[in-house]
Amino acid sequence: MRILASLSLAALAVASLTAGAQTPAAPKPSAAAQTAAKAKPAAPKAALALTPPMGWNSWNFFAERVTDKDIRAAADLLVSTGMKDAGYNYVNIDDTWEAERDSTGLLHTNAKFPDMKALADYVHSKGLKIGIYSGPGTKTCGGFAASLGHEEQDAKMYAAWGIDYLKYDLCSFIPDVMQKQAPNDKAAQMRLMIAAYDKMGKALKSTGRPIVYSLCQYGWDAPWEWAPALGGNLWRTTGDIDPTWDRMYAIVSQQAGLEKYAGPGRWNDPDMLEVGNGKLTLGENRAHFSYWAMLAAPLLAGNDLTAMKPEVKAILTNRDVIAIDQDKLGKQGSRTYVEGEVEVWTRHLSGGALAVAVINVGSDRQATHPFHLNLAKLGLHGAQKGKDLWTGKDIELTENMPIELDSHDVLLVRIGEPK
């Protein structure tokens, strides 16, 4: 099938996929346009994910229970809660929307998602974008039909529906292909995995529709080294998150050294947010969100928006913290020094600004034995004027200043003009 030139052609293509008809030819460029194209190299296609993607994903709260109704409600709530205005613009359907393929190979949706095109139209009508989920194996992690052998067909279908984002999850490709074709050769297994991600990357590209490509293969074989070359905009760096401090922090501990791989269009993904889920305390939710901001991580909320507490909304919509995450320089922060159970992270921001996060990953540090900040270790000289992003107040950081922190809480400061 031809490369689809526009969404309306893409919509026609869906009909042709089902009816086996030909897609109408795209109009030929005029002679003048052809000459101009020869004279000047074509402008690069609008780059995707120039800042880490923001939005909401169904998995962390709804898991396999998610329905069309939940996705519509999430879209409505992103708008009514102000999350959309704060930057959350992708509504991503995770696993369990899939039914079976018909005799033409076309994958159908299951009863929970009666009409994916109508759902995409609804999400778009709210000024939002929509994401979907599949994988390179025969089955998704939830045991639903995945894309093996149907990569182009599926990519065209996504484009025809108006999908803007694909999360592609390794899962059954491991036993289906990697272990079957290269049972005793791990390196060969990894090459098969990379080829599978490349295949879908090409299939997405050939649709002509800008679709953010999210690799979900748990950080196997250092995706940060190869994913950008095959069109990946983000790649998971670890196994799955869950809504506990220990798991969230274990993931954070595996991000060191990956800073240099992140940048506009290409992001390390420590997994979706658990802010507001499980039994995370408010301090833990703040620390989790601060870490993701310092890591230039995708901010995909994963909580139940229908029952979001005001204090959780306040965390997720803190514009100052979001601005750290979304800083246009796209330079991921790093853990600058550790003293016992207190970590100090810094992130360089556009315009020469600096974000400093002090996180207590252990037990309380109160007035009896507060933590003392060492500015020199951050390359700073003397007192620094900044803003405490969680209180919203001005703050002055001074050499050796005592900082009281509850267990698992954070001080996050933006210094506009570091000295």
Among 240, 242, 388, 404, binds ligand GLA (CB under 6 A): 240
User: Active site residue: 169, 176, 269, 327, which one?
Assistant: 169
Helix (H) or strand (E) holding 133: strand 129-134
Q: How many helices (H) and strands (E) does the chain have?
A: 15, 18
In degrees and rounded to multiples of 5, residue 389 shows phi and psi of: -75, -15
Q: Which stretch binds ligand GLA (CB under 6 A): 18-26, 82-90, 134-142, 351-359?
A: 134-142
Give the x/- contact pattern for ligand GLA in 41-80, rule: CB under 6 A: ------------------x---------------------
Tokens of 338: 């550790």
Q: Which stretch binds ligand GLA (CB under 6 A): 27-35, 140-148, 250-258, 374-382?
A: 140-148
d(CA 225, CA 227): 6
- In whole angstroms, how large is the CA radius of gyration of the chain? 23
d(CA 224, CA 232): 9
CA 154 to chain centre: 21
User: Active site residue: 76, 121, 221, 240, which one?
Assistant: 240
Whether the CB-CB separation of 181 and 148 falls below 8 Å is answered with: no
Give the residues across from 396 on adjacent strands.
385
3-state secondary structure of 169: strand
Residues 309-368 touching ligand GLA, rule: CB under 6 A, are none
Among 4, 86, 141, 211, binds ligand GLA (CB under 6 A): 141
Shortest Cβ 165–ligand GLA spacing (Å): 13
Give the x/- contact pattern for ligand GLA in 160-189, rule: CB under 6 A: ---------x--------------------
Residues 89-108 touching ligand GLA, rule: CB under 6 A, are 94-95
**Helical residues (DSSP H) of 21-150, grouped into ranges:** 31-39, 59-62, 68-80, 83-86, 116-125
141 versus 373: smaller Cβ distance to ligand GLA: 141
Per CB under 6 A, 113 contacts ligand GLA: no
Catalytic residue list: 169, 240
Residues that bind ligand GLA (CB under 6 A): 59, 94-95, 140-142, 169, 216, 240
